[in-house]
Amino acid sequence: MEYKDYYQTIGVPRDATQDDIKRAYRKLARKYHPDVSKEPEAEARFKEIGEAYEVLKDPEKRTAYDRLGTRWKSGQEFQPPPGWDQGFEFHGGGFTEAASQFSSFFESLFGRNQQSHRYRDREFNLHGEDSHARISIALEDSFQGGIRSLTLQHTESGQDGRPLIKERTLKVRIPKGIQQGQHIRLAGQGSPGTGGGKAGDLYLEIVFKPHPLFRVEGKDIFLDLPVAPWEAALGATVAIPTPAGTVDLKIPAGSRSGQKLRLKERGIPGTPSGDLYVVLQIVLPAADSEQARAFYREMEQKLAFNPRAGMSIR
């Protein structure tokens, strides 16, 4: 297992006060909170920060951690020295709700969150808890429907009572027309029930992977389409990509940059389907040859064109 430098994770010196640690943690927690953050890897970072804070906020755990000394580097292969925690008594109850996902480094030092599941109501004592996960899919998956695999991690008690991190892979059918932010319920795939009770359900939140061409708003899709000045000015029929394949689009004569063309029901399928909006972006040819520069000069001379006519400049 790898050594983790909790001070480095939170970004404080080893002699930081408890207040410093709390302040640094709060700042990072807001920055990397998975519901708020747009940083890449926010969820993984948030877990690391939470684990580091779990140790450093608690003077008992912090002192024990400090006793490992300063010779370890983050990521280095680590085994706890024999008897390192002698003379310490951990009082338990110091685990927060998030403690189930901590690293094996943490668990080797402090054990594992033994807190039993709290149930909302006695009636549901036998019913397993519902669980939640996110699944990211390509926009195309929503157009075609399909099967996606998803790997989930959970902890189980091994034979000797030590926690084991187990992985399971689910194959899930992605219904055609599903939208970002919607949830798929998989009955019986949550936590197992106790005493013969029903297992909970698993709720998958759909997240679209960023697409290089399309952006999505609800059921509608937007495509920025580069067009040549003569295509916009004179009109043209051009081939454009859509998530369902290539189609021909007629650009009307006299189109302007930023103009939106709507292709009805070419968005995310459904009843009714969303629309596809093509946003025209007029792109200028580079004046990088004598011939091109001659063309531009000719336009300058022959077209009475003032792009700033509406600005009343004298």
Partner 1 sequence: MDYDILHGIVIEESEALSLSELCQICNVEVEWIMALVNEGIFEPAGTRPEDWFFSGVALRRVLVVRHLQRDLDVNLSGAALVLELLEERNALLAKINLY
Alpha-carbon distance of 251 to 104, in angstroms, equals: 59
Nearer CB in complex with partner 1: 66/275: 275
Our finding on whether 278 is near partner 1 (CB under 8 A) is no
Q: Helix, strand, or coil here: 301?
A: helix
What is the identity of the amino acid at 28? L
Binding-site member from 132, 162, 166, 293 for partner 1 (CB under 8 A):
132
Binding-site member from 84, 124, 273, 282 for partner 1 (CB under 8 A):
124
Our finding on whether 34 is near partner 1 (CB under 8 A) is yes
Nearer CB in complex with partner 1: 84/222: 222
Neighbours of 274 (CB within 10 A): 21
Q: Helix, strand, or coil here: 36?
A: coil
CA distances from 169 to 49, 136, 182, 183 (A): 27, 15, 21, 18
Task: Give me the phi and psi of 64, to 5 degrees please.
Answer: -65, -40
Nearer CB in complex with partner 1: 42/233: 42
**Which residues ranging from 12 to 31 are in contact with partner 1 (CB under 8 A)?**
26, 29-30
Our finding on whether 250 is near partner 1 (CB under 8 A) is no
241 CB-near residues (< 8 Å, 6+ apart): 213, 223
Stretch that binds partner 1, among 106-114, 212-220, 231-239, 256-264 (CB under 8 A): 212-220
Among the listed residues 53, 42, 60, the one whose alpha carbon sits nearest the alpha carbon of residue 11: 53
In the shown chain, the binding pattern of residues 68 to 107 toward partner 1, with x for contact by CB under 8 A and - for none, equals -----------------------------xx---------
The nearest distance, CB 55 to partner 1, in angstroms, is 17
Helices assigned H by DSSP within the chain? 6-10, 18-32, 42-56, 59-66, 104-110, 139-144, 229-234, 290-302
Binding-site member from 75, 158, 192, 210 for partner 1 (CB under 8 A):
210
Question: Footprint of partner 1 on this chain (CB under 8 A)?
Answer: 26, 29-30, 33-36, 38, 46, 50, 97-98, 120, 124, 127, 129-130, 132, 147, 170-173, 175, 178-179, 181-187, 189, 201, 203-205, 210, 215-217, 222, 224
